[in-house]
């Protein structure tokens, strides 16, 4: 495993959007900006169970790319390729609250819906481009 | 063909980075921010011949995704799936100069290299998500 650290971690620790690319069932690519964080050198994101993103992460978790732009330097971006190493509903609510703190400065995720179950995904980096 | 127009075109007419996702030979995904424009309802980008991006566009041009974030609204993004409909070196230099005007406000692309040949790629949208 390649770990996220140094100047790359410094950027990803900021409340920057993580542009998450996953592979759809027909081979096309979904790219969505999501909240994310770095923990123990890995990427941590969170979504709702049943979304296409979730299905792609479950079924084609070996082909994940996350790209982040530096908001203070339009020439700088970091591209990380990796694979899903963990996918759990156990801490789904806890992690989305932590991300709401990082991105919105609030203690509780304000867009929570009674109909949805939050799931946390850990992505293990295999390649990092940029620094 | 789905055409890019209305509020989506308004966003993509701005000097926002186009996050271009292409498929690598091994099935992994490359996501890079590039300059881009909309012409006749299609996406126009430009790169250098021989780069991985160029090879992916030539060899797997049926699976292209472009995602653009609205810099004035972090909740808004547009995702466009499409396929390469044209790939030409004929106007490669002309288009990179036009993009330099859009993004940098200068008449001539300042990073031109004698070793590289610029190529223009037109992407025909097949699906547009967001508005």
Contact A23 B29 (CB under 8 A): yes
Contact B30 A65 (CB under 8 A): yes
Instruction: Give which of A28, A66, A83 to mutate to test B binding, by max B Cβ within 10 Å.
Output: A28
This model of the complex carries an ipTM of 0.94
Q: Supply the pLDDT for residue A31.
A: 98
Residues of chain B with pLDDT under 50: none
Longest dimension (CA), chain A: 41
Contact B79 A31 (CB under 8 A): yes
Q: Which of residues 50-89 of B touch A (CB under 8 A)?
A: 63-67, 69, 74, 77, 79, 81
Q: Are strands B18-23 and B36-39 parallel, antiparallel or unpaired?
A: unpaired
DSSP codes of every residue in A38-77: EETTEEEEEEETTSHHHHHHHHSTTSEEEEEEETTEEEEE
Tokens matching residue B116: 């590289």
Q: A6-126 in CATH: which number?
A: 2.30.110.10
Which residues are paired to B22 by β-bridges?
B30
pLDDT one-digit tens code per residue, A49-65 = 999 999 999 999 999 99
Break chain A into its structural domains and give their ranges: 6-126
Q: B6-129 in CATH: which number?
A: 2.30.110.10
Q: With contacts defined as CB-CB under 8 Å, which chain A residues touch B79? A: 30-32
- For residue B40, what is the DSSP state? T
Residues of chain A with pLDDT under 70: none
């Amino acid at each position: 495993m390649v770990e996220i650290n140094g100047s790359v971690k410094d950027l990803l620790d900021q409340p920057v959007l993580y542009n998450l690319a996953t592979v759809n069932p027909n081979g096309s690519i979904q790219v969505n900006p999501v909240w994310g964080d770095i923990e123990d050198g890995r990427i941590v994101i969170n979504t709702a169970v049943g979304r296409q993103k979730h299905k792609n992460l479950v079924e084609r978790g070996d082909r994940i790319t996350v790209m982040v732009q530096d908001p203070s330097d339009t020439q700088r971006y970091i591209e990380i390729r990796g694979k899903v190493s963990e996918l759990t509903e156990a801490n789904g609510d806890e992690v989305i609250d932590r991300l709401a703190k990082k991105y919105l400065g609030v203690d509780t995720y304000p867009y929570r819906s009674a109909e949805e179950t939050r799931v946390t995904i850990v992505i293990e980096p295999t390649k990092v481009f940029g620094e």
